[in-house]
Amino acid sequence: MNKIITIGREFGSGGRELGKRLSDHLGIAYYDKEIIDEIAKRTKLAEGYVRGIVEQQSGVFFPITVGRTFHSTGSDYILKQYTSVYAEQANVLREMAEKSDCIIVGRCGDYILKDHNPIRLFVYADMDAKFKRCREKADEHEHLSDSELIKMIRKVDKNRAKYYRYYTGQEWGDRANYDMCINTSTVPVKELAEALAHLFG
Amino acid sequence: MNKIITIGREFGSGGRELGKRLSDHLGIAYYDKEIIDEIAKRTKLAEGYVRGIVEQQSGVFFPITVGRTFHSTGSDYILKQYTSVYAEQANVLREMAEKSDCIIVGRCGDYILKDHNPIRLFVYADMDAKFKRCREKADEHEHLSDSELIKMIRKVDKNRAKYYRYYTGQEWGDRANYDMCINTSTVPVKELAEALAHLFG
């Protein structure tokens, strides 16, 4: 069975950086944008729209947050799109996991790939650290005021938790669902990746 | 400031073994039985009784679990003993933290020593793994049936959670209170200790 590492992560906690660094250390595949591209291709939906659904970052919010107005706004169609995106996401992840050792960030990977016995990491951080990390990516968030940025971080995580709970029936970030939960406020991601590569290599 | 590592742990999860191994790797002090001895000396209470209070393992249960009958059974005196044990525990831990680098297992160390910026670990495991680990220590638990042992593991953890909540106002095992939460069901403690020594050494 291939070695699969899944990384759940709070927004701005450095989960993606950890995934990339681990992938470099271990010399195994890292899937991120490729997943979105592949789902978009299969569902024939626009890449940006798929990203909005899967990453819960854009203006496209998960249907259960607008559930009450669902049946009066033609939203059956939207629900079908969400379901279809989730189904294709599951297919894509399983195919990737069968192809080779790999690291998968987000996307309910720990749950979808449970038959592959993945190493399940969850990365989180204090708000101060997440805020700082987001500010450092100036190009993405520079139009937001400090309070808007904090609000966005909270909202993205809230939506990720909802999305995860809806599709897995589990609590996002609950330690019982992971092999290791790591607070990057205090542990530098670079050194963390080295230590984890040592442990899981 | 000295390097302090605190380890909160579910019963049977291997927190003590991790502490000892980390202490060997890092060449720093490991405090366990010494804490009990010192508290017993200072409070003039029997060592076994102090251990019962601090470790929540014996027949001595934390007072809030019997709170309703407290004032009718001369239990003001017992409450004073608990409070005195906690106060001495805090003193002992602070003195140890000031003396040298060290590792402290349990005893609300993460909270009591927060001014020392400890590296705060929490170690947990699935019930199957905890059960197996407890069974391997045959001498301690061989008189218990399987179901009694499972019941005991649940009870000890429940009491540890109550004790921690009472003295810290925080949730025991909540990832927000730790730098790393580690599931030893899937990660061998020996290898884990090596990787953590690499990271925190």
pLDDT single digits (tens) A8-27: 999 999 999 999 999 999 99
- Within 8 A of A179 by CB-CB distance, chain B residues are 182-183, 185-187
Among the ranges given (A100-104, B68-72, B185-189), the one the predictor scored with the smallest mean pLDDT: B68-72
pLDDT classification of A56: cutoffs 50, 70, 90: low
CB contact under 8 A, A187 and B181: no
Looking at residue A64, what is its pLDDT?
A: 45
pLDDT classification of B73: cutoffs 50, 70, 90: low
Residue of chain B whose alpha carbon sits nearest to that of A190: B199
A58-110 per-position pLDDT tens digit: 444 454 444 444 444 556 777 777 888 888 889 999 999 999 999 999 889 99
pLDDT classification of B74: cutoffs 50, 70, 90: low
Is B22 a residue whose pLDDT tops 90?
Answer: yes
Closest CA to A50 of A119, A127, A107: A107
Looking at residue B8, what is its pLDDT?
A: 96
Helix (H) or strand (E) holding B4: strand B4-9
Which residues numbered 167-186 in B keep a CB inside 8 Å of some CB on A? 173, 175-176, 178-183, 185-186
Measure in Å the smallest separation between the Cα of B68 and chain A Cα atoms: 32
Looking at residue A137, what is its pLDDT?
A: 79
Q: What are φ and ψ of residue A193, in 5° steps?
A: -60, -40
Tally of structural domains, chain B: 1
CB contact under 8 A, B183 and A186: no
Which residues numbered 117-136 in A keep a CB inside 8 Å of some CB on B? 119, 122, 124, 126
pLDDT classification of B64: cutoffs 50, 70, 90: very low
Closest CA to A31 of A87, A92, A122: A92
Helix (H) or strand (E) holding A103: strand A102-105
- A165 DSSP assignment: H
Higher pLDDT among residues A96 and B137, named by residue: A96
Measure in Å the smallest separation between the Cα of A29 and chain B Cα atoms: 22
Residue of chain B whose alpha carbon sits nearest to that of A194: B199
Measure in Å the smallest separation between the Cα of B75 and chain A Cα atoms: 37
Looking at residue A115, what is its pLDDT?
A: 95
Is B7 a residue whose pLDDT tops 80?
Answer: yes
SS3 B100: coil
SS3 B148: helix
ipTM: 0.86
Q: Choosing among B180, B191, B194, which should be mutated to test the A contact, i.e. which has the most A CBs within 10 A?
A: B180
Residue A51 in any domain: the answer is yes
- The CATH number of the domain where A83 resides is what? 3.40.50.300
Higher pLDDT among residues A164 and A59, named by residue: A164
Is B153 a residue whose pLDDT tops 60?
Answer: yes
Looking at residue B141, what is its pLDDT?
A: 73
CB contact under 8 A, A183 and B178: yes
Please tell me which of the candidates A119, A178, A183 has its beta carbon nearest to residue B179: A183
Q: Per-residue pLDDT averaged across B170-188, rounded?
A: 95
Residue of chain B whose alpha carbon sits nearest to that of A199: B195
Q: Which domain holds residue A56?
A: 4-195
Please tell me which of the candidates B124, B175, B199 has its beta carbon nearest to residue A183: B175
Q: How many CB atoms lie within 10 A of CB B164?
A: 23
Residue A188: exposed, middle, or buried by beta-carbon count in 10 A (0-12, 13-18, 19+)?
Answer: exposed
pLDDT classification of B116: cutoffs 50, 70, 90: very high
Residue A106 in any domain: the answer is yes
Q: Per-residue pLDDT averaged across A117-145, rounded?
A: 90
Residue A186 in any domain: the answer is yes
Residue A201 in any domain: the answer is no
Looking at residue A4, what is its pLDDT?
A: 97
Q: What are φ and ψ of residue B145, in 5° steps?
A: -75, 170
Please tell me if residue A196 touches chain B, with a CB cutoff of 8 Å: yes
Looking at residue B75, what is its pLDDT?
A: 66
CB contact under 8 A, A180 and B178: no
Q: Per-residue pLDDT averaged across B94-105, rounded?
A: 95
Is B21 a residue whose pLDDT tops 80?
Answer: yes
Q: Per-residue pLDDT averaged across B182-189, rounded?
A: 94
Is B83 a residue whose pLDDT tops 60?
Answer: yes
Higher pLDDT among residues B48 and A178, named by residue: A178
Q: Quote the crossing angle between the two packed helices B33-43 and B47-55, to the nearest 10°.
A: 120
Residue type, B30: Y
Q: What mean pLDDT, rounded, does chain A reach?
A: 87
Higher pLDDT among residues A54 and B117, named by residue: B117
Q: Are B89 and B35 in contact (CB under 8 A)?
A: yes
- Within 8 A of A176 by CB-CB distance, chain B residues are 124, 126
Claim: this prediction has a pTM higher than 0.80: yes
